[in-house]
Structure 1
Amino acid sequence: MASPYAQDGFRVGFDWGPVGAAAVAGTIVAVVDVLSFTTAVTVATDLGIDVYPYRWRDETAVAYAQQYDAVLAVGRSEAGPTDVSLSPVTIRQAQGIKRLVLPSPNGSTIAQQLSDTGCTVIAVSLRNRLAAAAWVKARLAEEPKLKVVAIAAGERWKDGSLRPAVEDLWGAGGFLAALDVGGFSPEARAAAAAFKDAENELSSLLHDSAGGRELAQYGFPEDVAIAAEVDSSGSVPVLRNGRMFAST
């Protein structure tokens, strides 16, 4: 018997976090983590940097980075003047980097999880939502039976439970709204409607959101400003064999 949570029968779906990603299977999955994993990925791929998602920054991450001759991003609060972290500001300022291992407990973890299932994973933020939608529409035109799912990564409460993050709802909804295809699930329709409601105020709303205030409180308001660069990126980062690169 089919799971009621799989959004079967719809061409376009939407859900939250790693559990939602597992429940709503899709042939193409857009992972959305606006503050800051997928925003950081689009900044990196705009600069020609390949990104290797990784779950945690630990000893295994060090070995993973060495395996690919890549720079391992440090913790955001640990970054010195020349270090690269999950902060998009540090990536934009980086010099001479070609490959970057980018640990993230939310977006990066979900991207790895989905890639292991064999689906096509792309990184979507407010910066590249139009480019990502155009890329997906081209593939839907070639293969009408494909199913597309947007996964809002969300954040974590201290007890480890999912904290839905409104910026990820807007990012996923912006991508979905731009798809302009039929067959949306009710969940996907709701996400697209949330973006349309906020579209004309996204920059100020992003700064005023809980996630935006949190980053500003910790001294990273520029990261929020970069995340608010709506439709500024033409990169569509695709995850293949552990590597996220700008697809054409």
Structure 2
Amino acid sequence: MNETWYQQSRFDVRLEWGQNAAKQLARHVDCVVIVDVMSFSSCVSIANDNQAHIYPWPWKDESARRFAQENGADVASFTRTFAGDRYTLSPASLLTIPAGHRLVLPSPNGSTLSFQARDCGAAVFSGCFRNRAATARACAAFKHIVVIPAGERWPDGSLRPALEDHLAAGAIIAALGRESMSPEARAAMAAFNACRQEDLYHCSSANELVARGFADDVALCLATDVSPYACRLSDGCYQPV
């Protein structure tokens, strides 16, 4: 069996889901865009807008604190709810993060994928609705691009494909304006073009945040093209481009 059947190698712009995409496809392209709308990628975008730097880290344990100390950084709360730490995975908590601040942001989705992709040899970006156009501009110079919607998690830890990540991936692909797209990438773009943005306020991930008291985060995550910066992983942290 051909071991490269999943690489979508005939096409310049590709799309595949989750951690296995970061492990298997990232090393076969020039550019990786990780999309975790609710909330890692939106947090990164908001922090980079303020000229703060975000260090992705996969694990919510003592290793995150050690990693932060090694990098002269603060570490976000391991829960979204304020728990004595100033910053969390709530985008609203990062609206006033100061320029130059270094923050380790552990998350099981976008941060984990970023960590997995960082040594693949490709340029790695964090994309979302907020920086859709800026991300496309930053990726324009790269020939082969894979866009990776992170998805969410079911209680058993398995991947839950998330509508908002699929549509944001499609939004970035649309902004790239390439002709050579894999069927997966073209389908995501078509889904974005066909969906009403207001419908996303009622998707499963948005419903979860509202139920947990984070309705303000939903609006922040779904705002489109409000950031002038792409977010590129460099020297272990996301920085504004």
TM over 0.5: yes
Q: Secondary structure at the match of 2:178?
A: coil
Q: Of residues 220, 229, 238 in structure 1, which corresponds to 2:223?
A: 229
Tell me how many residue pairs correspond in the alignment.
238
Contact 1:71-1:97 at 8 Å conserved across structures:
no
Alignment of 1:22-171 (within 5 A): 22-24=23-25, 25-80=28-83, 83-94=86-97, 98-137=101-140, 139-140=141-142, 146-171=143-168
1:4-40 deviation per Cα after TM superposition (whole angstroms, max 9, x unaligned): 1110111010010011233333210000000000000
Identity of aligned residues (%): 39
- The structure carrying a bigger helix percent of its residues is 1
Q: 1:185 aligns with which of 173, 182, 185?
A: 182
Moved more, 235-244 or 28-37: 235-244
Q: What's the TM-score, normalizing by structure 1?
A: 0.92
**4+ runs of 1 displaced by more than 3 Å?**
93-97
Q: Is 1:3–2:4 an aligned residue pair?
A: yes
User: How far apart, CA to CA, are the structure 2 residues paired with 1:165 and 1:175?
Assistant: 16
Superposed displacement of residue 174, structure 1: 0.2
Contact 1:42–1:128 (CA under 8 A) maintained in structure 2: yes
Q: Return 67-76 or 180-189, whichever deviates more.
A: 67-76
Counterpart in the other structure of 2:204: 210
Kept after mapping to 2: 8 A contact 1:56/1:105: yes
TM-score normalised according to structure 2 size: 0.94
* Cα gap change, 1:184 to 1:237, in 2 (>3 Å): same
Q: Is contact 1:52–1:101 with CA below 8 Å preserved after alignment?
A: yes
Q: What is the distance in 2 between the residues matched to 1:76 and 1:127?
A: 23
Q: Which runs of 5+ in 2 are unaligned?
A: none
Matching residue's letter, 2:201: H
Question: Within 2, Cα distance between the matches of 1:29 and 1:232?
Answer: 21
1:37–1:104 CA contact under 8 A, matched in 2:
yes
Residues 39-69 of structure 1 show CA distances to partners (whole Å, capped at 9, x for unaligned) of 0000000001011000012111001111111
In 2: Cα distance, 1:48 partner to 1:154 partner: 27
